[in-house]
């Protein structure tokens, strides 16, 4: 049987889709403040949720021992607890399912000798990324179980960014098999897309900072960060040294996330404009058009998410389109790579 066949491609694309679903559910988990509802980690038995009143009471009593209940949700009933428990449980179950979907077919393809050596190496990298992502998930949750009722925004950024990177790399491996013959059209143009990808990843990190610090709940105006009654932007300088305001301060983090968005949009428009001056095929043209449309939609979603103080629907959509934007950027870079 031919190596790196369609079954292998479908396997990788299925992994991309599952990571996408995982990120969506993770966004809902974050926006509903459900991430600290399961305070213990059980790899196997944790797959099954509480099945009767006794088990639910046991889980609820465990939740009561931690800062989120004691400092924020002390008025919760067990029914309230069940609501937040569901999203975190679903998020973890999908993570386990992704592991199964990656490992079992990988072993099958190895036994049937349907993978080339380069694909085997790339698949092992994917396994490592997936395992590390699982570790980062617990590492993130652990930060909210000690003395603060919320997770570290640094750890949240690591967890989210690794999910995006794992998705992008999985897509790249699939594209390698779908388009085995690649040719660099223009090295400078390819490098411009690389810069776009790097800037987009930085913007994703700052998006995680905004989410982790709940920084989207202030400065709910646009285009200025105030209501327009004064000329200058109002960024609250609260910490010393100054740099900490832009990585730990809510106001400063939102400021960076806002203005990075302008740079991301500008650079993608530049990429699209520069592409008009080089020879390209239909797929390459299509990829850049999708990239331009995606970044415009994402920018508008960001504005409305901010203006409406991060409602659940807009917050999730903003994260979903960020995911699609990264996919479009990855696809475009692949189509212009050697």
Same domain, 319 and 247: yes
Phi, psi of 148 (to 5 degrees): -130, 145
| DSSP assignments along 10-54, one per residue | HHHHHHHHHHHHHHHHHHHHHHTT-TTS--S--TTGGGSPP-SHH
Same domain, 279 and 171: no
Q: What percent of the chain has pLDDT over 70?
A: 93
Same domain, 164 and 190: no
Residue range 314-333, pLDDT digits in tens: 999 999 999 999 999 999 99
Tell me which of 164, 180, 196 is where a domain ends.
180
Cβ atoms of residues 126 and 15 within 8 Å: yes
Same domain, 36 and 176: yes
> What confidence score (pLDDT) does residue 1 get?
56
Cβ atoms of residues 89 and 82 within 8 Å: no
Same domain, 224 and 261: yes
For 273, the 3-state DSSP assignment is: helix
Same domain, 195 and 315: yes
Tell me which of 161, 180, 199 is where a domain ends.
180
b (16+ CB within 10 A) / e for 5-21? eeebbebbbbbbebbbe
Identify the CA nearest to 168 among candidates 109, 104, 120, 125.
125
The length of the chain in residues reads: 338
Tell me which of 116, 151, 180 is where a domain ends.
180
Residues 6+ apart with CB under 8 A from 277: none
Residue range 22-36, pLDDT digits in tens: 999 999 999 998 888
Identify the CA nearest to 179 among candidates 338, 71, 310, 58.
338
| Single pTM value for the model | 0.91
Domain that holds residue 28: 1-180
> What confidence score (pLDDT) does residue 293 get?
97
Distance CA 27, CA 233 (A): 29
The structural domain count of the chain equals: 2
> Among positive and negative, which fits the CA dihedral 165, 168, 171, 177?
negative
243 secondary structure, DSSP code: G
Given pLDDT bands bounded at 50, 70 and 90, which one contains residue 260?
Answer: very high
Cβ atoms of residues 83 and 37 within 8 Å: no
Same domain, 64 and 169: yes
Same domain, 187 and 141: no
Same domain, 244 and 119: no
Q: Mean pLDDT, the chain, as a whole number?
A: 89
138 secondary structure, DSSP code: H
Same domain, 192 and 326: yes
Same domain, 96 and 239: no
Same domain, 191 and 136: no
Whether pLDDT at 94 is above 60: yes
* Token code pair at residue 164: 């995006």
For 248, the 3-state DSSP assignment is: coil
* Token code pair at residue 167: 């998705």
């Amino acid at each position: 049987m031919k190596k790196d066949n369609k079954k292998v491609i479908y396997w990788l694309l299925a992994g991309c889709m599952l990571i996408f679903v995982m990120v969506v559910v993770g966004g809902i988990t974050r926006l509903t403040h459900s991430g600290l509802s399961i305070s213990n980690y059980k790899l196997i038995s944790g797959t099954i949720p509480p099945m009767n009143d006794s088990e639910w009471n046991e889980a609820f009593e465990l939740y009561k021992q931690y800062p989120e209940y004691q400092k924020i949700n002390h008025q919760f009933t067990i029914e309230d607890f069940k609501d937040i428990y569901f999203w975190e449980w679903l998020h973890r179950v999908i993570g386990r399912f992704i592991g199964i979907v990656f490992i079992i077919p990988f072993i099958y393809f190895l036994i049937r000798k349907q993978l080339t050596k380069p694909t085997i190496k790339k698949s092992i990298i994917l396994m490592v990324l997936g395992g590390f992502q699982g570790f980062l998930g617990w590492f993130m949750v652990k930060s909210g179980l000690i003395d603060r009722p919320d997770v570290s925004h640094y750890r949240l950024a690591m967890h989210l960014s690794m999910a995006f990177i794992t998705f992008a790399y999985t897509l790249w491996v699939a594209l390698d098999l779908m388009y085995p013959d690649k040719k660099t059209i223009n090295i400078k143009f390819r490098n411009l897309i690389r810069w776009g990808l790097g800037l987009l990843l930085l913007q994703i990190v700052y998006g995680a900072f905004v989410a982790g610090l709940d920084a989207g709940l202030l400065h709910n105006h646009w285009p200025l960060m105030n209501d327009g009654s004064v000329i200058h932007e109002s960024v609250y300088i609260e910490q010393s040294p100054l740099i900490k305001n832009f990585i730990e301060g809510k106001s400063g983090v939102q400021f960076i996330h806002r203005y990075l968005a302008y740079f991301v949009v500008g650079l993608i428009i530049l990429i699209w404009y520069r592409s008009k001056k080089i020879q390209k095929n239909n797929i390459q043209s299509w990829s850049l058009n999708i990239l331009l449309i995606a970044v415009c939609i994402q920018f508008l979603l960001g504005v409305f998410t901010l203006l409406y103080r991060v409602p659940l629907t807009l917050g999730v959509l903003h994260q979903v389109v960020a995911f699609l934007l990264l996919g479009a950027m990855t696809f475009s870079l692949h189509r212009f790579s050697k």
